[in-house]
Amino acid sequence: MTTEGARPSLHTLLAHVPLVVWGMSFIFDCVSFFGGAPFVEAALFNVAAGLVAMLAAGASEARDYFVRLPPGSSARRIARWQALANLVATALFVASLWLRWAVRGAPSTPRAPFVLSAFGVAILGVAGYLGGLADYALAATTRRRSPDDR
């Protein structure tokens, strides 16, 4: 979230990391059906790395919510939905990691972790969209309309 004259928040920088890492895990899942066990392991480690990255992104998201977003604003309302979507996606990836760990060394990604990752990535897409809406809503309510408005 940004305001005029302020630096972008840390969350703006960190939020992309889990999305990219978890997106790559899903791509590795898809490739594992043709490429075998190395891609299953790559997907597993990407899911784990995404969980670590989400801890940092989630902490910075919580800080932005309580410190930067004005109470009662549309940006704060949208951010609540974004946080909920992020929590649901994170729970799906936690379950996916747990199921993957039990079948390490499988020749291809088992069905349940694959489906959980697919839903997780889709929900992350929605969360990313909501994050963009919240950022836009905050910028639209806090920036000056023209240089002459002081």
pLDDT tens-digit profile of 94-106?
999 999 999 888 8
Instruction: Report pTM.
Output: 0.83
> What pLDDT does 7 receive?
64
Answer for the pair 6, 142: CB distance below 8 angstroms, yes or no.
no
Q: Is the pLDDT of residue 144 over 70?
A: no
Mean pLDDT, range 108-134, rounded to an integer: 93
Q: Which of 122, 129, 135 is nearest to 22 (CA)?
A: 122
> What pLDDT does 54 receive?
94
